[in-house]
Chains A and B, each alone.
Chain A
C-alpha cells in the first residue's frame, strides 16, 4: 500500500517515537517512506500526532528513538535552518511568520536566507506567487490582507525557497472555495514539478480530491496509508481515527455501491 516504492530515496521515517519533555508520547513507532513528487495528505483527529510528525520532517523535532532521513541525511545533528534548504514548512498560523511590510519582501525572505543571488531570489519570488496565484498581492502590506490571504502569502514565502519537499500544516483552514481550489492547483503543480507535498488537513474533500496518497493517524500511529480510494474504503479504520470520509464516499457506502466513491464521476459511473 505504501506509495514510496520504486521512487528515489525521499524522506524515510523509521520507527519514529517521540516523547515531549512533559512525558506525553506523541508518536509511537511511525514508519513512512515518501518519495519524490508524491502528494501526501496526513489526516486524523486533533492530538493524533500529525503536527509532531510534520515537525520531524525538517528537524524542528528530533525523534526520541528511531530515525528520520531526508535524501539520506539524518536529521539528528542538523539544525532546522540548515534543513530548510531541503524541506519547506508552512505553519498553521501565518501571523507566526509574517513580519515584512510588503508581500514581495516577505516572500523573498526565505530564499535570501538560503543565500541565493539577487536575480535568482527575484525569479523565485515571481515563480512562487504565480504558483500560489497571488501575483496581484505583491505590493501589498501583509497585515492589510485578510487571514485567508495572509495564509496564501505565508505559503508562497515557503514555496519560494524552492525546496524539494514542502509541508503544509492545515492550509485550507479559513479558505473559501476559490482559495481551497487555488491550493489544490498548487499541490498539483508542485507535484508535477517533482516536489513532494505533504499537507496536514481536516478537509477530507480536499485530501481526496488533490492528493495521491492519504495517511491516517490516530494516537501517534499510522492506521491507514494508501490512495484515497484505498483509505476511504476502510470505514472501521477511519472510525478508529475519528475521520469522516467525504460525503460522496459515505453516500456510496449507504447506497451499497461496491467501489469507493470519491467524486461525481465515480458516482455517475457506478449508477449508470
Chain B
C-alpha cells in the first residue's frame, strides 16, 4: 500500500527535530511568504527551504515533488499575468496580437515565488515529518484523543480504500462489468463499485471501533507512549520564538496595510 504522505526516512538532524518545531517553522514560512512585501524576502525563504532540504538529504525529492505539483500552475500564472495584467503600460515585446507586459511578468514572478516557497515548505515538512509523530506529539500537547485518532485514521484509511477499490474493480470486471468505454458505461459501472466499497467500509469501521475499544481506547487513565519523541528546552524556546516572530510579523503587516488604507 502506498502511504498518503511522501515522508522519506533519512538519518538527518532535521528528521530528528521535534515535529512541532518543524511545524512552527513551516507555518512561519507560509505566513511570511504569503504576506511579505518584497520579492527578495520570498526568494530568500525559498533558498532557506532548499538549504534545510539539503541538510535533511531530501533535496532531490523536494525538487521532484515541487515541480510535479507546481509546474503547471506557475506556467499558467506567467501566461495569464504576463498577457493580461490589468493596467499594464510597459510592453516588453509584441508578437502579432500578443503583447507581453513588464508589470505582468513582475507580478507573475512575485506570485509564483510566493507559491513556490509555500509549496516547497509544505513538501519539506511532509518529507521530513511522519504524520503519526506529528499527531502523537500534538495529542501529547493537548489535542483531543478522538480528533487525533480521526486525523490519523483518515490518513491511513485512504490508501486502504484505494486498494479495496482496485480489488472491487477487478472482481466486478471479472463478472463482465465493462468499466472502460463511453460515459454511460462508466456511469453504470458506478453502483457495483461504490456499493461494496461503502458497505465494506462501514463493516470495517464497526469492527475497528470494537477492536480499539477492546484495547482501551476510551479509557481515561493517563497514557504512556510507545515511542518517546525527542524534544528539548532549546527546541521549545525556538518554537516560542517562531510563534512570537510570526505574531509580530502579522501585526506589522496589518498595521502597514491599515495605514496604507488611511493614507
Name A99's contact: one of B167, B178, B192 (CB within 8 Å): B192
Which residues in window 144-187 of B have CB below 8 A to A? Answer: 164, 167-168, 170-180
Q: Is B64 among interface residues, defined by CB-CB distance under 8 A? A: no
Is the Cβ of A80 less than 8 Å from the Cβ of B174?
yes
Is the Cβ of B173 less than 8 Å from the Cβ of A79?
yes
Is the Cβ of B175 less than 8 Å from the Cβ of A157?
yes
Is the Cβ of B176 less than 8 Å from the Cβ of A91?
no
- Assuming the A-B contacts A81-B178, A81-B179, A113-B177, are A95 and B172 also in contact, with contact meaning beta carbons closer than 8 angstroms in the complex? no
- Interfacial chain A residues near B172, Cβ < 8 Å: 97
- Interfacial chain B residues near A99, Cβ < 8 Å: 191-192, 195-196, 199
Q: Is A60 among interface residues, defined by CB-CB distance under 8 A? A: yes
- Assuming the A-B contacts A58-B174, A79-B178, A84-B175, are A91 and B192 also in contact, with contact meaning beta carbons closer than 8 angstroms in the complex? no
Closest to A61 in B: B170
Looking at the assembled complex, report how far the CB atom of B48 sits from the nearest CB atom of chain A, in whole angstroms: 35
CA distance A79 to B195 in the complex (A): 22
Is the Cβ of A114 less than 8 Å from the Cβ of B176?
yes
CA distance A133 to B55 in the complex (A): 66
- Interfacial chain A residues near B167, Cβ < 8 Å: 91, 93, 96
Is the Cβ of B176 less than 8 Å from the Cβ of A96?
no
- What is the interface size of chain A, counting residues whose CB is below 8 A from a CB of the partner? 27
Name B174's contact: one of A84, A93, A95, A143 (CB within 8 Å): A84
- Assuming the A-B contacts A98-B196, A99-B191, A113-B176, are A80 and B203 also in contact, with contact meaning beta carbons closer than 8 angstroms in the complex? no
- Assuming the A-B contacts A84-B173, A91-B167, are A96 and B178 also in contact, with contact meaning beta carbons closer than 8 angstroms in the complex? no
- Interfacial chain A residues near B179, Cβ < 8 Å: 81
Contact with B along A31-48 (1 / 0, CB 8 A): 000000000000000000
Is the Cβ of A89 less than 8 Å from the Cβ of B178?
no
For the complex with contacts A97-B168, A99-B192, 15 further pairs of A-B residues with Cβ separation under 8 Å are A79-B178, A80-B170, A80-B174, A81-B176, A84-B175, A88-B174, A89-B171, A91-B170, A96-B168, A97-B175, A100-B195, A109-B192, A110-B175, A113-B176, A113-B178
List residues of A whose CB falls within 8 A of some B CB. 55, 58, 60, 79-81, 84-85, 87-89, 91, 93, 95-100, 109-110, 113-114, 143, 157-158, 161
